[in-house]
Structure 1
C-alpha cells in the first residue's frame, strides 16, 4: 500500500475539478497523481502529487522502484479516475490522506485520517 498526503493531493483534485477532467494515477518514474489537463511549466505538469513511498525526488531509486514494483507490478501504467468521486471529497473537506492498493484487475482508493 502507498499513500498520498492530503496537502499534496488537494491542488490536483481542485485543478481536475476546475478543468472538468479526470485525475490520472501514473506509475512510471515514481507513482503520482495529476489532473488530466492543467498548467504546464517547463514541459512538465506543474501540479503533481507524489506517493510518499515512490517519489524519486525524496526516496532513493532502488527503494521507490522496488516499492512501486511490489505494489503495482513491473509495467508502467496510467489509470483514469473520476475527480468527483466521493473519496476525493474526503481529501478536500476532511483533510484525509489517500491510500492506494492494487491487485491484478483493480485499483483501490481509501481515504484515511492523516498519520501524525
Structure 2
C-alpha cells in the first residue's frame, strides 16, 4: 500500500479543483500526484507535486523508493487520471485524512484514512 499525507496532497487537490483538471497519479521517478493543469509554468513557480510516503527520489535512497513503488504497482511506469471531484478527495481536503492507494492487476483502490 502507498500512502499520501494529507498535508502534501491537499494543495495538489485544491489546484486541480481550481482548474477543473484531473489529478494525475504517476509512477516513474517515484510515485506522486499533481494537477494536470497548473499556473506554475506561466508564473515561474515550481509545480505542486505530492510524493507518496517513501517514494520521493529527492529524499529517499533509490533502492528504497524503487522497491516500494515496484512492490505495489509493478515494474512498468504509468500515468492514471483521477476525477478531481471524487468524494474521497473531500476527506483529504476538508478533514485532513491521508490517502492510501493499493493496486492489483486491473484496479486501483483508494481509501481515506485518519492520520
TM-score (norm 1): 0.93
Counting matched residue pairs gives 113
SS of structure 2 residue aligned to 1:40: helix
Distance in 1 separating the partners of 2:9 and 2:41? 17
Runs in 1 of length 4+ with deviation above 4 angstroms? none
User: 1:107 and 2:108 equivalent?
Assistant: yes
* 1:40 to partner: Cα distance: 2.6
Superposed CA offset, 1:53-86 (max 9, x none) = 2111221100100111110000000000001001
Question: Cα 1:57–1:12, aligned 2, differ >3 Å: closer, same or farther?
Answer: same
User: Where does structure 2 lack aligned partners over 5 or more consecutive residues?
Assistant: none
CA RMSD, 1 decimal:
1.5
User: 1:28 and 2:59 equivalent?
Assistant: no
User: Where does structure 1 lack aligned partners over 5 or more consecutive residues?
Assistant: none
SS of structure 2 residue aligned to 1:93: helix
Distance in 1 separating the partners of 2:45 and 2:105? 30
Q: Which residue number corresponds to residue 6 of structure 2?
A: 6
Distance in 1 separating the partners of 2:58 and 2:70? 17
* 1:25 to partner: Cα distance: 0.2
TM-score (norm 2): 0.93
